[in-house]
């Protein structure tokens, strides 16, 4: 029986760059999750009898919200729902399942790299039929509906068994519980030379993958240990846990310190990697050699032709504006376009759909290609392994060779977390207020050449996105970018991106902190970060 339940709007359901993210206890309010799901459905047209994909990263509240989604999908007229066994689907695997099944779209239940647990974070994101995040016109419509909703529809029915593969009926809708790993693993095997990687591992190459007690554990065990032959235990923290083992599943040098320490030890493996809560981010560390996400994107693009799936070359490279310019020099040498976009994978999706780009990346540890419409942590690790197997060099040797060919972009991101939103907004407003007067002024970074608020015109549809981050460019290839992040659930996070380019004839072996010290000081001087936030040091440096 379909029930129509009266409700009232919540005023805090505006989706961000990756859907709606709030604390678990916010989502547990009566009608809260239901309101948002119904607002998604009310904003869509033509889904009657169509297929919906549902799954998440296994975090706290994942299973309960899946049951709500299933009953509401049935009540709203979907014909079939594909749900990952146990409610599990990594974000890239969900994107692939949407695309491979011809689904109308999907609901991905995740707060990505944010912590999980009863007092932590949860999220819901709608992905469209290309497998990618909903574009702004869809998320704007969803938000508008959340402010006007007065009822939602849900089936009065028992919970569905989502732990047993197979099909069942929920009202007039078919629910199909699918293996969350098999289809994705087969896709990876079609892109990369598993025989060469397996031979390298059999020959003594060692690796360590930290799944951070998050969603990639089952995927990594299947691919690295079962299909590529790495020893059991290569994948650590392989069981997805609702609270990620009380850890923060963000693959950076703070939250993946155990992996970093392992890779810097005298007996370190040849290669180390990690992925995040929902499987779309990655961390790459060679023996005694950390690779920044910006450098990783550049190296992957320069060497992608070594993998079978990219042997024909790249159509183009896309990077988010805050990401370093390392990939730009690769694109220039390859003679292919380089697209600089706002942060958010939906902008890459347009380029990928139009056949204008093949590989995309963000400095926040997300890289991917046209195989899906999301960033993909396991994919990045496999492409690195394919390159290592083909080149027979260490990560450190590959990085040294890359810098000798292209020069080096010294780069770091400083995150100031948990800032009161009014203070963060005031800081950005003050920065924007001085953009016209900054050029030709001097500070610890040197002379300011130009300053602007990044705006992007999408070449696929000519849509314009404004106010995407303040850029301050100095002479001699130095840059500082200021941007507020939209991925947190409390307060605001100020992200400061600091970059210095050194050519092939310059000093390529400096310590990053020392190389960037003058620019770090310049960022403080220009934005008065401590004055606005009260923070003398960033929360996280990556």
Query: What are the structure tokens assigned to 406, written together?
Result: 């292209």
Query: Active-site residue among 18, 39, 90, 112?
Result: 112
SS3 15: coil
How many contiguous H segments (helices) and E segments (strands) does the chain have?
17, 27
Sequence-separated (6 or more) residues with CB below 8 Å from residue 65: 27, 33, 56, 109, 122, 124
Query: What are the structure tokens assigned to 272, written together?
Result: 């180390």
State how far the alpha carbon of 64 is from the alpha carbons of 230, 333, 488, in Å.
Answer: 35, 51, 22
Q: Is 369 a catalytic residue?
A: no
Rounded distance, CA 249 to CA 328, Å?
Answer: 30
Sequence-separated (6 or more) residues with CB below 8 Å from residue 537: none
Place of tokens 């004839």: 505
SS3 209: strand
With beta carbons less than 8 A apart as the criterion, state whether 36 and 124 touch.
Answer: yes
Rounded distance, CA 270 to CA 392, Å?
Answer: 12
State how far the alpha carbon of 183 is from the alpha carbons of 137, 178, 212, 381, in Å.
Answer: 31, 9, 22, 18
Alpha helix locations (H) across 152-265? 182-191, 194-202, 216-220, 257-264
Catalytic positions are 112
């Amino acid at each position: 029986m379909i029930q129509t339940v009266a409700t009232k709007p919540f005023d805090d359901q505006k989706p961000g760059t990756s859907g709606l993210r709030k604390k678990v206890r916010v989502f547990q309010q009566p009608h809260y999750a239901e309101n948002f799901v119904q607002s998604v459905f009310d904003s869509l047209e033509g889904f009657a009898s169509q297929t919906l994909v549902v799954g998440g990263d296994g975090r706290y509240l994942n299973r309960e919200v899946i049951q709500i989604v299933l009953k509401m999908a049935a009540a709203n007229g979907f014909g079939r729902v594909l749900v990952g066994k146990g409610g599990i689907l990594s974000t890239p695997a969900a994107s692939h399942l949407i695309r491979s099944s011809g689904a109308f779209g999907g609901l991905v239940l995740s707060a990505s790299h944010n912590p999980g647990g009863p007092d932590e974070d949860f999220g819901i994101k709608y992905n469209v039929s290309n497998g990618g995040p909903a574009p702004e016109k869809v998320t704007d419509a969803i938000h508008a509906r959340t402010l006007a909703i007065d009822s939602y529809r849900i089936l009065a029915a028992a919970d569905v068994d989502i732990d047993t593969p197979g099909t069942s009926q929920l009202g007039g809708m078919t629910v199909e519980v699918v293996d969350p790993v098999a289809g994705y693993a087969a896709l990876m095997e079609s892109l990369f030379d598993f025989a060469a990687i397996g031979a390298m591992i059999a020959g003594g190459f060692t690796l360590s993958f930290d799944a951070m007690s998050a969603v990639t554990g089952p995927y990594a065990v299947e691919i690295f240990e079962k299909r590529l032959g790495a020893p059991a235990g290569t994948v650590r923290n392989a069981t997805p846990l609702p609270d990620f083992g009380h850890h923060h599943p963000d693959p950076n040098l703070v939250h993946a310190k155990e992996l970093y320490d392992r890779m810097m030890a005298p007996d370190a493996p040849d290669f180390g990697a990690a992925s995040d809560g929902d499987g779309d981010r990655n961390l790459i560390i060679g023996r005694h050699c950390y690779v920044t996400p910006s450098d990783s994107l550049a190296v992957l693009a320069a060497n992608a032709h070594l993998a079978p799936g990219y042997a024909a070359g790249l159509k183009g490279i896309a990077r988010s504006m805050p990401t370093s310019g390392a990939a730009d020099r690769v694109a220039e040498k390859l003679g292919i376009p380089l697209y600089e976009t706002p942060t958010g994978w939906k902008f890459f999706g347009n380029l990928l759909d139009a056949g204008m780009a093949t590989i995309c990346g963000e400095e926040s540890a997300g890289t991917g290609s046209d195989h899906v419409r999301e960033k993909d942590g396991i994919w990045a690790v496999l492409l690195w392994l394919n390159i290592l197997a083909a080149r027979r060099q260490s990560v450190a040797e590959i990085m040294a060779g890359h810098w000798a060919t292209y020069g080096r972009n010294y780069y770091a991101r400083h995150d100031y977390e948990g800032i009161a939103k009014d203070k963060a907004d005031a800081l950005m407003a003050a920065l924007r207020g001085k953009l016209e007067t900054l050029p030709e002024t001097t500070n610890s970074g040197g002379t300011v050449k130009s300053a602007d608020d990044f705006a992007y015109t999408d070449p696929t549809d000519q849509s314009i996105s404004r106010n995407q981050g303040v850029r301050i460019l100095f002479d001699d290839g130095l840059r500082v970018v200021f941007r507020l992040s939209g991925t947190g659930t409390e307060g605001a996070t100020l992200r400061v991106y600091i970059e210095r380019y050194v050519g092939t004839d310059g000093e390529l072996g400096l310590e990053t902190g020392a190389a960037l010290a003058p620019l770090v000081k310049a960022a403080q001087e220009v934005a008065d970060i401590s004055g606005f936030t009260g923070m003398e040091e960033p929360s996280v440096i990556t």
